[in-house]
Amino acid sequence: MKLSRSVLAISAIAALGVGVLAGCAPSSADGGDDKSGGSGAALTIAKPDGAITTESHNPYLGDSSASKYGYAKVIFEPLALVNPTGDLGTTPWLAESVEWNDDYTELTVVPRTGVKWSDGTDFTGEDIVFTFDMFLSGKLSDTSGLKYEGATVDGDRITLKFADSKYTAQSRVLHTPIVPKHIWEGIADPNTDPLTGEGLAVGTGPYVLDNWSTESVTLTANEDYWGGELAVPALHYVSYGDNAALTTALVSGEADWAQAFIPQIEDSFLAADEANRFLVSPTAGAGTLFMNLQTKPFNDVALREALAWTIDRQAYVDIAREGASEPVWNVTGLGELLSDEIVPEYKDQNYSVDIDKAKQILTEAGYTWKSEKLIDPDGEAVSFSISVPAGWSDWNTEQALIAEELDAALGIEVKVDQPDWGGWDAARQEGTFQAIIHWLEDTGNQYGLYTSTMDPKWIVDDKAQYNFGRFDDPAVTEALNGYANASSDDDREAAGAVMQKAFAEEVPAIPLGAHPLLGEFNVRNYVGWPSEDDQYASADPTQPGIVQILTKLTPAE
């Protein structure tokens, strides 16, 4: 088990590592208002997504400016923070404690005391119940599939009940933004309301909305924040046109904090200033080669297995990802972060680049070579296309690497296809591709890999959201459902063994390397950031853990 079933109450100061100001850095470079009890420089948080023209502060809308810029995370807080990296642990936040029952159908929380909404109203357990009850009544669409069934209150303990196990979806529950009842009970349709009316963008978070424009959004420190005084007096959220413009802004100091894949980051960013930092935070997900299992050549497990012994995962990490990843070699497809979930049978069973073994597998399956080209048992030359949207530079590089590796080693012609997003998206859903590189559903445990690659539940109306290869084995489906709904660790381990065996033997997909969260920042004005030695959160400012980082930052000396 990776995410904790029970997290004991801890004091706010000890849990948050809040830095209390005592004579801070020079006054804000932008002249912004300092409500932190000291004076310091604002932080500019940047994205490469272009201008966002429509104002909306609603944290439940994926296309709201608050969601796209990411500033919703510092206004509206969750019950707890689930770390997607490091120890994959859970830290209580608006709840002083969170505890799941054995089958993960009930979550009991104790609301944190001494918390106020940014308009001065006390935060209470009623706000938690109200937030989740909006899903129950249908007032708010259940886009996360929580299947919430209601709450019971016993003193200061609130128990939230769900229709099925949330073991594989703990973070979805715990990261639900909690909103104020006294504001939201007056909102007619929270599925569409932009929350731009006077006094509506009210949260418990460390920052409050100050100014919004299509060029930038400014938030200032919440002077009554329950977590203590904040070193950073203001946050500016800015969006640039592309990665190149974002990199320029980071190098010049115009921007302070971002998440982006930056090619040649050592030369283009880190070397520009000794204060610049780049943190790669591995997650349980992985960049994965999905193969269309319904058509040639990938309807033959022997070919899939041969590819698994040929593709160089270390080259993916070193060249395509420029070091920003970790290779995945185990035959179960599980990376280092989930190594303790691998059953004993497969603990030491790892792929490597072994061309002789790959050729032996193919030969025994009836493949031959003619003029150094691989010929399948039907007498046809083996070739396929691999598709990734144009402009996805890391995976575009991996396309070229795979094409070169398979041509040189096995005589397979690989055609590199780089369509626009729309064409790629349609093909992956409709199953008209041959091979693609894609990410996985990240559940913080082994279920994410196996549901993403072998679960038929993702195929709806003949369109796939995951399991793009359309793998279907009733025994595996039963194990997936058993894992998700198990009432004990032993039952989950038994189901995991079935899934791992199927993945190792059937090779439905080939994970290449961990799909990490990235963060670029500098330590010119503040220290206390997450690091390789202390991954208490990722350094990605769009993740819920941003509130934890902001409470840990202290002025640089």
The predicted-structure confidence for 213-232, as pLDDT tens digits, reads as follows 998 999 999 999 999 999 99
Q: How confident is the model at residue 40 (pLDDT cuts 50, 70, 90)?
A: confident
DSSP code of residue 177: P
175: confidence class by pLDDT, cuts 50, 70, 90: very high
Phi, psi of 471 (to 5 degrees): -65, 140
Q: Which of 20, 147, 148, 160 is nearest to 80 (CA)?
A: 160
pLDDT at position 476 is 98
Q: Would you place residue 49 in the very low, low, confident or very high pLDDT band (cuts 50, 70, 90)?
A: confident
Name every residue whose Cβ is closer than 8 Å to that of residue 413 and which is 6 or more positions away in sequence. Answer: 373, 381, 382, 383, 407
Alpha carbons 38 and 27: distance in angstroms, whole number: 9
Rg (CA), the chain: 25
pLDDT(8) > 90: no
Calpha distance 337→335 (Å, rounded): 6
Read off the DSSP letter of residue 415: E
Separation in Å, CA 393 to CA 7, 126, 255, 398, 436: 41, 47, 22, 9, 14
pLDDT digits (tens, 9 = 90+) for 350-397: 999 999 999 999 999 999 999 999 999 999 999 999 999 998 989 999
Q: What percent of the chain has pLDDT over 70?
A: 93
Q: What is the pLDDT of residues 234-283, one digit of tens each?
A: 999 999 988 889 999 999 999 999 999 888 999 999 999 999 999 999 99
Phi, psi for residue 148 in degrees, rounded to 5: -70, 140
Rounded mean pLDDT, 46-55: 89
The full DSSP string for 475-530 is HHHHHHHHHHH-SSHHHHHHHHHHHHHHHHHH--EEEEEE--EEEEEE-SSEE---
Angle at 515 between CA 511 and CA 517, to 5 degrees: 170
Q: What is the pTM of this model?
A: 0.86
pLDDT at residue 4 is higher than 50:
no
Residue 550 above 70 pLDDT? yes
Strand segments (E) across 241-293: 257-258, 276-281, 286-291
Q: With residue 173 as reference, give the H or E element that holds it.
A: helix 170-174
Instruction: Quote the pLDDT of residue 10.
Output: 32
Whether 166 shows a pLDDT value over 50: the answer reads yes
Output the CA torsion 212→215→221→225 (10° steps): 60
Query: What's the rounded Cα separation, in Å, for the pair 363 and 376?
Result: 10
Q: Go through 163-172 and write b for each residue having 16 or more CB atoms within 10 A of its CB, e for each that does not.
A: ebbbbbbbbe
Question: Does residue 272 sit in helix, strand or coil?
Answer: helix
Residue 65's closest CA among 180, 201, 170, 163? 201
What is the average pLDDT value for the chain, to the nearest integer? Answer: 92
Candidate from 31-40, 114-123, 308-317 with smallest mean pLDDT: 31-40
